[in-house]
Amino acid sequence: MSSITSAASLTEMIRLLDEAVEKQTTTGCCKAVKRALEDIVNSGQNFVPDDFLRPAPNSYARRLLHRDPEDRYTILVMVWGIGQGTALHDHAGMWCVECVYRGSILVKSYSLDDEVGDRFRFIKEQEVVAGIGDAGALIPPFDYHTIENAEPARPSVTLHVYGGEMNWCNAFVPDGDLFRLERRELTYTD
């Protein structure tokens, strides 16, 4: 595929996302963003530059593909190496739509069951293996989840569209049968 076609596909995705975020409600916006991601990924076009698709050695890679000039959303490419995943976390009150671009991922969603002092108890709600073109929306307060690479022998790649720029989140670290909250600052890979 030529770079012109790749650039045109990325431009088309940004156009579709610009239209999607014009929706007035978060739910409507997320549904439109989800449809846009599914459409563009299922088109079969390779629109993510190769240098965004490299795994990182010690953690999943998190790369900024596009920042909306009006700060309505950002598009990130995340690359999940073999055995890589996230801690249980939220999106700090920000909506997000995630779509599998290459490979497959395992997503586990949780609900907050109880707060015990400064510790938290979660209940696992759902476990989904998502493949290429599968997308899901996380709309606070229903955004507690983990993501991990479901491929045993190769990296997986996901696209994440956030309702702004997510530069921190709450991670929940196991502490016996409960979890303790840890604010995590987020950075981009290379």
Residue 74 has pLDDT above 70, yes or no: yes
Q: What is the reported pLDDT for 148?
A: 98
Q: What is the reported pLDDT for 25?
A: 63
Residue 23 has pLDDT above 90, yes or no: no
Please, what's the b/e burial string for 40-76 (b: 16 or more CB within 10 A of its CB; e: otherwise)? bbeeebebbeeebbebbeeebbbbebbebeeebbbbb
Query: Distance between CA 185 and CA 129 in Å, rounded?
Result: 27
Mean pLDDT of the 69-89 span: 96
Mean pLDDT of the 168-172 span: 97
Per the listing, tokens 């709309």 go with 139
Q: What is the pTM of this model?
A: 0.89
CATH T-level fold of 50-185: Jelly Rolls (2.60.120)
Residue 45 has pLDDT above 70, yes or no: yes
Where do the structural domains in the chain lie, given as residue ranges? 50-185
Residue 154 has pLDDT above 50, yes or no: yes
Query: Distance between CA 182 and CA 119 in Å, rounded?
Result: 11
183-25-69 Cα angle (round to 5): 65
Return mean pLDDT, the chain: 91
Query: Distance between CA 173 and CA 114 in Å, rounded?
Result: 15
Residue 162 has pLDDT above 80, yes or no: yes
Residue 3 has pLDDT above 80, yes or no: no
Residue 65 has pLDDT above 50, yes or no: yes
Residue 7 has pLDDT above 80, yes or no: no
